[in-house]
Amino acid sequence: MAANTNDFWDALTDLAKEKNISMDVLIETIENSLLIACKNNYGKADNATVEIDRETGAYHVFLAKTVVDEVMDPVEEISLADAQNINGKHQIGDVLHIEVKSKDFGRIAATAAKNTITQKIREEERKVLYEEYYELQHKVVTGVVTRFSGSNIHVNLGKLEGFLAESEQVKGEFYKPQDRIKVYIVEVKTSNKGPRILVSRTHPELVKKLFEEEVSEVRDGIVEIKSISREAGSRTKIAVWSNDEDVDPVGACVGQNGARVNAIVNELRGEKIDIVEWDENPAYLIENALSPAKVVAVVADADEKSARVVVPDYQLSLAIGKEGQNARLAARLTGFKIDIKSETQAKEAGDFLDYEEDYDDDDEYYDEDEYYDEDEYAEDAEVESDAAESEEE
């Protein structure tokens, strides 16, 4: 079954380029579709073969037929007389490859072949898109808001749309069609309708990736973001470390006159960012994490992952933060359960040390009833929230 090779081959080549699909895949698909057409037309295709010239695009379909005296199955057998009409040397038992002419294919068989090709092209196109966007998983990309479905948002990411669920949106952020936003690709999944891309504006990794984009030292690995804790839309804390003693990790992330961090704050629509220095010593790390509050002393139990912190009386509200946020983020950043007391509270509890004289870095103690409690701190913060906000300013 020969074809008009030039038009067919040109169309196939253009299709491969347009859909970014391998020519080998398309050719294999055509071969399979022709075999399906044979099966639909003749009831079977076990003895059918397809040959496609990969240089010219010419293709042929053959049926292998055995030479017999009396034909019982015209699909698999040919009479000796007919065989000898082709070549007088043929004998009983010989196998001939008889080309199937295009007119021998019925309309139903041809339609089935066409559907097979179309379906395979769609599958390959989805596969190519999946692989392309799978490479972007766990990265930040810029998209354009296109439409809304209920409280969910669809974001154009180029060839595909990302799905920004309500749970992945920052409270207080509002979008309209054509808004350009940066999103973090959480997951790329396959589905019957093609790749499904789940994106987020609340994921802590969004902040980390934005720092990688904005701060060359982070991008090059000179400065590492060791830990991050985030309450999206409100505040983020990151702990950074420098692998080069000549590079200040906090200064590198802040940038000259705060240019670098301000660019990220603007992208996050005003979300506050605290940048603190990482320290292998948990006591120093906890002290840094409670910034901007001043700390008198920290006693940390590395085994129990708990710590007691004493702050000046006037700094208690600032250390806890509004509704307990500062202490809560510090606990997540460090991985320690943190109990914060003012100097007066510590003295009244009977466990206040003279930190200037008696405090020893090796001292450790643990009280499971003294852990940081978000509700307790939230109540404290409500009483002293005005003072906390004043201190933060």
Task: Tell me the torsion sign for CA atoms 340, 344, 349, 352.
Answer: positive
Q: Report if residue 304 sits inside a domain.
A: yes
Q: Are residues 225 and 293 in the same domain?
A: no
Q: Are residues 161 and 89 in the same domain?
A: no
Q: Report if residue 251 sits inside a domain.
A: yes
Q: Are residues 149 and 115 in the same domain?
A: no
Residue 299 — very low, low, confident or very high, per pLDDT cuts 50/70/90?
very high
The arithmetic mean of pLDDT across residues 134-139, rounded, is: 95
Specify the 3-state DSSP secondary structure of 230.
Answer: strand
Q: Report if residue 366 sits inside a domain.
A: no
- Calpha distance 217→251 (Å, rounded): 11
pLDDT above 90: residue 393:
no
Q: Per DSSP, what are the bridge partners of residue 183?
A: 141
Q: Between the CA of residue 155 and those of 159, 186, 203, what are the distances in Å? A: 11, 14, 16
DSSP state of 228: E
Structural domain harbouring 168: 139-198
Q: What is the pLDDT of residues 193-221, one digit of tens each?
A: 889 999 999 999 999 999 999 999 999 99
Q: What is the pLDDT of residues 74-121, one digit of tens each?
A: 888 888 888 888 888 889 998 888 888 766 565 655 676 677 777 878
Specify the 3-state DSSP secondary structure of 70.
Answer: coil
Specify the 3-state DSSP secondary structure of 36.
Answer: helix
Q: Are residues 302 and 236 in the same domain?
A: no
Residue 254 — very low, low, confident or very high, per pLDDT cuts 50/70/90?
very high
Q: Are residues 252 and 292 in the same domain?
A: no
In 38-93 the beta strands, taken as DSSP E runs, fall at: 48-52, 59-68, 77-79
Q: Are residues 293 and 230 in the same domain?
A: no
- Calpha distance 369→77 (Å, rounded): 90
Q: Report if residue 357 sits inside a domain.
A: no
State the pLDDT at residue 109. 55
Helix (H) or strand (E) holding 155: strand 152-156
Q: Are 326 and 287 in contact (CB under 8 A)?
A: no
Q: What is the pLDDT of residues 325-348, one digit of tens each?
A: 999 999 999 999 999 999 999 888
Q: Are residues 20 and 84 in the same domain?
A: yes
Q: Are residues 315 and 251 in the same domain?
A: no
- Calpha distance 379→372 (Å, rounded): 13
Q: Report if residue 66 sits inside a domain.
A: yes
Q: What residues contact residue 308 under an 8 Å CB cut-off, 6+ apart?
A: 298, 299, 300, 339, 341, 351, 365, 367, 370
Q: Report if residue 380 sits inside a domain.
A: no
Q: Report if residue 362 sits inside a domain.
A: no
DSSP state of 244: S
Q: Which two tokens stand for residue 319?
A: 């250390």
Q: Are residues 185 and 207 in the same domain?
A: no
Which region holds residue 81: left if phi is over 0, alpha if psi is between -120 and 50, else beta?
alpha
Q: Which two tokens stand for residue 361?
A: 């870095």
pLDDT above 90: residue 230:
yes
Report which of residues 32 and 142 the model is more confident about. Answer: 142
What CATH number should be reported for the domain holding residue 94?
3.30.1480.10
DSSP state of 226: E
pLDDT above 70: residue 379:
no
Q: What is the pLDDT of residues 31-46, one digit of tens each?
A: 787 777 777 777 777 8
Q: How many structural domains are present in the chain?
A: 4
Q: Are residues 110 and 19 in the same domain?
A: yes
What CATH number should be reported for the domain holding residue 166?
2.40.50.140
Q: What percent of the chain has pLDDT over 70?
A: 83
- Calpha distance 227→239 (Å, rounded): 5
- Across the chain, mean pLDDT equals 83
What CATH number should be reported for the domain holding residue 311?
3.30.300.20
Domain final position from 159, 177, 198: 198
Specify the 3-state DSSP secondary structure of 249.
Answer: helix
State the pLDDT at residue 140. 96
Q: Are residues 224 and 310 in the same domain?
A: no
Domain final position from 277, 295, 315: 277
Q: Report if residue 374 sits inside a domain.
A: no
Q: Are 275 and 240 in contact (CB under 8 A)?
A: yes
- Calpha distance 280→288 (Å, rounded): 12
Domain final position from 124, 157, 179: 124
Place of tokens 């038992």: 93
200-232-333 Cα angle (round to 5): 110
Q: Are 112 and 36 in contact (CB under 8 A)?
A: yes
Q: Are residues 270 and 303 in the same domain?
A: no
Q: Between the CA of residue 62 and those of 39, 72, 210, 227, what are the distances in Å? A: 13, 19, 60, 66
Q: Which two tokens stand for residue 245?
A: 């003693």
pLDDT above 50: residue 255:
yes
